[in-house]
Structure 1
Amino acid sequence: MTSEDAEPQTRAPDRAPKVNKISAQDIWDSLKAGAADFAAHPVMSGFFGLVYAVFGLGFVWCLIQLGMVWMIIPAIVGFPLVAPFAAAGLYEMSRRRQIGLPIRWRDILTVMADQRKRELGWMAFVTLFVFWVWVYQVRLWLAILLKDASFSDFDGFMQTVLYTPEGWTFLAIGTCVGAFLALALFSVTVIAMPMLLEREMNFVSAMLTSVRAVTEKPLVMMVWAAIVTGALLLSMVPAFVGLIFTLPILGHATWHLYKRAIPEVGAS
C-alpha cells in the first residue's frame, strides 16, 4: 500500500476555501456521476444503503416494542436528517474512484473508523443533536395539542392527527418546524460532510463554507435538497428497501456536487 493509499485525506490549510456557484446542470451531472459510481461498485455501495435501511427498520421496531407508535411517523420524516453522516463511506468511495485509487473494503472501513479522531465526528454530533431536537419538539407539541388523546395503536394516532382540528394544528406546526430544522441542517452539512472527509479543517469553518455554498445559489441548492429528501422518503415506503439503491446514488452524487462547489486546494 502506498503512502497516498494509507493517508487519503488532503492536507489543506485550516481556512475557509473559495466557493463556486452551483447550477442546475451541476446537479444533473452530479447525479449521473453518482449513478456511475454506484454501477461501478454496486455491492459495496449497496452495503451502506443496506446498513442505513436496517437501522431504520430497527428503529421503527424499537418504537413499536416500546409502545411509542406515535413516534413512527415523526421518526421516519426525520430519518433523512442523518443521511449525510451515513453516506461518509460513499464519499470516500467516490473520492478514490475519482483520483484512481483502489476501492477495497479495508480502505473504506479504515477511513470511516479514523473519522472519530477528526472533525467529522463533531459533524455527526451536530446531525444527531438536530435529530434529537426534532424528536423532542414533536413530543412537546403532542403534549400541548393532543394531551387528551389516546394512542393505543398506530391507527388511533393517525385518526387523531388526520381527522381532528388539534391534529391539523399539530401537523401544521410540525411541518413548519421540521422544514426549518431540515433547511438548517442541510445548509451546514451538504458541503461540510464530504469536505471534512477530504480536508484537514475545523468543523465550524466547514459548516460556514457549506452555508456560503447554499447562499450563493439558494434556489438551485433547494432543488437539490428537495431531490434528496423526496427520494429518501419515497424509498422508505416499501419497508426501507429502496434506500439500498437511493442512499448510495445520492451519497456518491453529493461528493461530486461538493467537488463542483469547492475548488481544489491551491486553485484560484
Structure 2
Amino acid sequence: MSHDEPTSEVPTETRRMTSTNSAAEAAPSDFKIQELTLDHPWSWLARGWSDLRHAPLPSLGYGLIFVLAGYALFAVIVYAELFYLLLPLLSGFFLVGPVAAVGLYEISRRHERGQPVSLGHALGAWRANGGQIAVFGMVLMLVFIAWMQLVMLIFALLHQGVTPTWESFVRVVFLQPDSFPLLLAALLLGGVLATIVFAMSALAVPLLMDRTINALDAMRLSVQAVRRNARPMLLWATIIAAFTGIGLVTFLLGLLVMLPLIGHATWHAYRDTLGHQQMNRQ
C-alpha cells in the first residue's frame, strides 16, 4: 500500500484563508463529505507526527496531564480496592478521548495557520465553541455512565453482590469458565457502544472547535462521513485502538506520545473529510 499524500490535499496557502462569514453558525448543508482512501489514515498519522515535532513541549505537556490524571485515578482504585472498575475505566478512555484531545486539535490548527503555539492555547481551546463541546461531552459521559452501570451489574452477578478483592477479581474474570458468557456479553455490548461513539465523535469535536455549529449537527455529520468512508474509517479506528492500547499496556507511559499523535492526526482527518470546503474561523 502506498503511503503517499492523498491527491485530495489542498495547498497550504488555501488552508490559511478565512471566510468572511465563518462566525455565522454553520449548517450540515454547508459541508461536502470528501471521499477518502485507505492511504488517508497513514497520511493523517504522518501529518500528526509533523505537528508533534513542530510543537513538542505543548503536545507532550498536554499528554503528560492526562498520564498524571490516569495515575491519580489508578491510585484511587487501589486505595478504595475497587479493582473491578479498573478494566471498564481503562476502556472508558476510548469513549471520552475525543473530548479530552480538544487542545491537541487547537495545536494542529495553529500550526496549520502558521500561528504561535503554547500549552495555554491548547488548554483554552474549548472556549471556541464551549457550550456545544460541553453538550457533546455530556453525551459521551452518559454513554460512559451506561457502560459503567452495565459492568457493575455484570460483576454483581459474578460475585453475588460482594465487592471483589484483586485476587478474586483476577480469578473470576480470567480463570472461572462460568464467567465467560457474561464477559462475552459485556465485550459485545462494549464493542457496540464503542462503534457508536466512534461514529459520532470521529470528526465531531474538531468540527465543533473549528466552526460555530451545534453538537447534534456535528454528530450527524460525523456519522455520515464514517458511513460514506467505511473502510478508511475502519482502518482509522483500528489504528486509534492499537495506539491507545500501546499507551495503556505501557502503564500509561506510552500515552505521553500516543495521545498527542492521535489527537493531531484526528485534526487532519477532520480537515481532509469536512474542513476544506469551508475555511476555518480566526
Partner of 1:235 in structure 2?
A: 247
Given the alignment, which residue of 115, 128, 137 partners 1:101?
115
* Contact residue 202 and residue 222 of structure 2 kept, 8 A: yes
Distance in 2, Cα, partners of 1:214 & 1:73: 27
Q: Distance in 1 between matches of 2:119 and 2:84?
A: 39
Residue identity matched to 1:228: I
| TM-score for the superposition, normalised by structure 1 | 0.90
Cα distance, 1:118 vs structure 2? 2.9
Matched residues, number? 258
* RMSD, matched Cα: 2.0
Asked if 1:44 corresponds to 2:58, the answer is yes
Measured in 1, the distance between the counterparts of 2:198 and 2:89 equals: 17
Residues 111-260 of structure 1: pairs in structure 2 closer than 5 A: 111-112=125-126, 114-115=127-128, 117-147=130-160, 151-152=164-165, 154-260=166-272
Structure-to-structure mapping, 1:56-71, within 5 angstroms: 56-71=70-85
Give the deviation of 1:266 after TM superposition. 4.6
The alignment-based identity, stated in percent, is 28
Give the CA deviation at 1:110.
3.0
Question: Which among 78, 81, 101 is matched to residue 92 of structure 2?
Answer: 78
Distance 2:75 2:150 in 1: 22
SS in 1 for 2:124: helix
Alpha-carbon distance between aligned partners in 1 of 2:97 and 2:107, rounded to the nearest angstrom:
16
Distance 2:141 2:157 in 1: 24
Cα distance in 2 for partners of 1:118, 1:99 equals 25
Moved more, 234-243 or 178-187: 234-243
- After superposition, give the CA deviation of every residue in 1:19-53 in whole Å (9 maximum; x if it has no partner): 11221111111100000100111111011111111
Structure 1 runs of 4+ aligned residues shifted over 4 Å read none
CA distance in 2, matches of 1:79, 1:118: 22
- 1:21 is matched with which residue? 35
1:82 Cα deviation after fit: 1.3
More off after superposition, 166-175 vs 131-140: 166-175
Say if 1:117 and 1:82 are closer, same or farther in 2 by CA, change over 3 A: closer
What's the offset of the Cα at 1:210? Answer: 0.2
Q: For the Cα contact (< 8 Å) 2:67–2:256, is it kept in 1?
A: yes
- Structure-2 separation of matches of 1:234 and 1:86: 18
Amino acid at match of 2:65: V
**Partners of 1:242 and 1:129 in 2: how far apart?**
28
TM-score, reference length from structure 2? 0.85
Instruction: Flag structure 1 segments of 5+ consecutive residues without an equivalent.
Output: none
